[in-house]
Amino acid sequence: MTIRNFNGISPKIDKTAYIDASAVVIGRVSVGKNSSIWCNAVARGDVSDIIIGENSNIQDLTMLHVTHYNPGKWDDFPLTIGDNVTVGHNCCLHACTIKNNVLVGMGTTILDNAVIESNVLIGAGSLVSPNKTLESGYLYFGNPLKKVRPLTTGEIAHIEYSAKHYVKVKNDHQSS
């Protein structure tokens, strides 16, 4: 694995977290308890913070990045990922906020200053445009993104199950 400092700032990775040997984690990145960053994923916190909560997983080939401060134009935009979040393979998350118990489908892009409320399911291949807020309790899908329907209690439970499953997979990798 490549974990490296940037401008004197080191990533902060909880001792229970798993970073795959092929992942890259740079600079202002914090990875919480039981979270995981998988094969060839990149978390590049060079110009703002990337914060990953507990029991969250960033799957293969996903890119995490942020937006820098530009005086007189905008503040810096960190990337914040809450607890029990599953980010599918080959996603791009850029300077957005993802709250708790969210599943981001494979190949999804979420852009600057978007806010994903808790208990949201985003279908594979979706595009969440800048400054968009996704309301809690719904399935969203598409490019352009559309609110499809309310989630069932079973679907909300499955989002949490997915996060717990990846904690188990992480534990298996750490013990092998």
Residue 139, pLDDT > 70, answer yes
Closest-CA residue to 56 (of 100, 96, 15)? 100
Contact, 92 vs 102, CB < 8 A? no
Contact call for residues 58 and 85 (beta carbons, < 8 A): no
Q: 130 pLDDT exceeds 70?
A: yes
Whether residue 18 contacts residue 32, with contact meaning beta carbons closer than 8 Å, is answered with no
**Phi, psi (deg, nearest 5) at residue 8:** 80, 5
Q: What is the pLDDT of residues 57-102, one digit of tens each?
A: 999 999 999 987 677 666 678 999 999 999 999 999 999 999 999 9
Query: What domains can you pick out in the chain, each with its CATH number?
Result: 2-175 (2.160.10.10)
Q: Mean pLDDT throughout 134-163?
A: 97
Please tell me whether the overall predicted TM-score, pTM, comes out greater than 0.85 for this model: yes
- Separation of alpha carbons 29 and 35, rounded Å: 13
pLDDT tens per residue, range 36-46: 999 999 999 99
For residue 71, what are its two tokens? 């005086």
